């Protein structure tokens, strides 16, 4: 009887062990078949985190990671949706997005993302080599102390130099939007113009009244004189680079600046004074903070002309 009970107990024990093994194998199979995803969560403050999860619902993933949406935040995909193929959950600020939408609405533009991408024009860069001229300087040689027969004349003609300048230029829609100089190489040095100048003083003879002549025909005693001085002559235009905040095209005397007529001169030359500069007549109509002493600024039509003028030392004669 004892032997029979003992064998019965052994059979129950074997069956129990088998059941336990079957349950354990089933749990193992379930664990193996459960898929684990790597999901990236982007928070509205810019912080990013990567989590491992077996869940695919956005709300469940956020709950598992103790992430609570604020009232001013929105999530993509939506809170009740499944994660997308890129396995990314993005939390953004509603107010920021609303401002961007408002800007587009105010401008009256309604475009899809595809049409925006089609309309976008890329910016291209090119390395361009340009040959530019180097303006020559005019140098004066004063020979006032020499022979009285010495005349003003050009001793050496000026020749512009040449240089190769390399620029990096950015274009958008074939329009230049940015230009930066990379390097430059002088191909030909400029040759300075040299002028021989003799200061001169002229006076008219006084004539006395003679008998039998009318007073209308009689010249009164007059004496006039003009002096030639060497001035440092530069050039300027109406742009902000030359005139700063006063770039409105009007002179200090209130006249409209005119190329070939207007010059800025020191205060010792009153407005309206006519000057003979290198054979051309100009009128003092403007002033300048840097225009002092033997310095005169000639008005030209563009900034490129002002740069091309450079610095010249020229004979200047006060006409009146």
Structurally, the chain folds into a number of domains equal to 3
Residue 2 belongs to some domain of the structure? no
Q: Which domain holds residue 261?
A: 224-318
Residue 201 belongs to some domain of the structure? no
Specify the pairing of strand 228-236 against strand 295-299. parallel
Residue 18 belongs to some domain of the structure? no
Residue 162 belongs to some domain of the structure? yes
> Do residue 57 and residue 141 come from a single domain?
no
Strand partners, 191: 159
* CATH code at position 82: 3.10.20
**pLDDT averaged per 10 residues in sequence order, the chain, 320 residues:** 54 71 59 72 86 89 87 88 88 71 54 58 84 83 64 80 90 82 88 74 36 35 56 89 80 90 92 90 91 91 89 86
* CATH code at position 258: 2.40.40.10
Show contacts of 43-47: CB within 8 Å, 24+ apart: 43/67, 43/91, 44/70, 44/73, 44/91, 44/92, 44/93
Residue 105 belongs to some domain of the structure? no
Element (H, E) at 317: strand 312-318
CB 263 within 8 A of CB 275: yes
Reported pTM = 0.34
Q: In whole angstroms, what is the distance from residue 223 CA to residue 204 CA?
A: 6
CA angle (29, 31, 33) in 5-degree steps: 70
């Amino acid at each position: 009887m004892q032997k029979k009970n003992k064998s019965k107990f052994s059979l129950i024990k074997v069956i129990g062990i088998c059941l336990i093994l079957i349950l354990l194998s089933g749990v193992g199979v379930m664990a193996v078949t459960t898929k684990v995803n790597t999901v990236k969560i982007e928070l509205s403050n810019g912080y990013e985190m990567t989590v491992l999860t077996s869940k695919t619902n956005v709300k469940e993933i956020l709950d598992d990671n103790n992430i609570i949406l604020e009232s001013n935040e929105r999530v993509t995909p939506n809170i009740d949706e499944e994660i997308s193929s890129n396995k990314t959950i993005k939390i953004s600020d509603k107010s920021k997005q609303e401002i961007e939408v408002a800007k587009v609405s105010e401008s009256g533009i309604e475009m899809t993302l595809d049409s925006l991408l089609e309309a976008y024009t890329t910016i291209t860069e090119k390395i361009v080599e340009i040959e530019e001229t180097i303006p020559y300087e005019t140098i004066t040689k004063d020979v006032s102390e020499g022979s009285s027969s010495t005349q003003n004349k050009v001793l050496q003609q000026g020749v512009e130099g040449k240089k190769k300048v390399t620029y990096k230029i950015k274009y958008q829609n074939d329009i230049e939007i940015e230009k930066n100089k990379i390097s430059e190489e002088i191909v030909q040095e400029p040759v300075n113009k040299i002028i021989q100048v003799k200061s001169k003083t002229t006076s008219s003879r006084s004539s006395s009244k003679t008998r039998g002549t009318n007073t209308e025909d009689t010249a009164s005693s007059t004496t006039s004189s003009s002096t030639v001085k060497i001035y440092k002559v530069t050039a300027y235009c109406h742009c902000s680079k030359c005139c700063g905040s006063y770039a409105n095209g009007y002179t200090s005397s209130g006249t409209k600046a005119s190329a070939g007529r207007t010059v800025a001169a020191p205060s010792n030359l009153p407005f309206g004074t006519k000057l003979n500069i290198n054979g051309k007549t100009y009128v003092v109509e403007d002033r300048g903070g840097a225009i002092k002493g033997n310095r005169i600024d000639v008005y030209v039509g563009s900034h490129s002309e002002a740069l091309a003028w450079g610095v010249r030392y020229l004979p200047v004669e006060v006409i009146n």
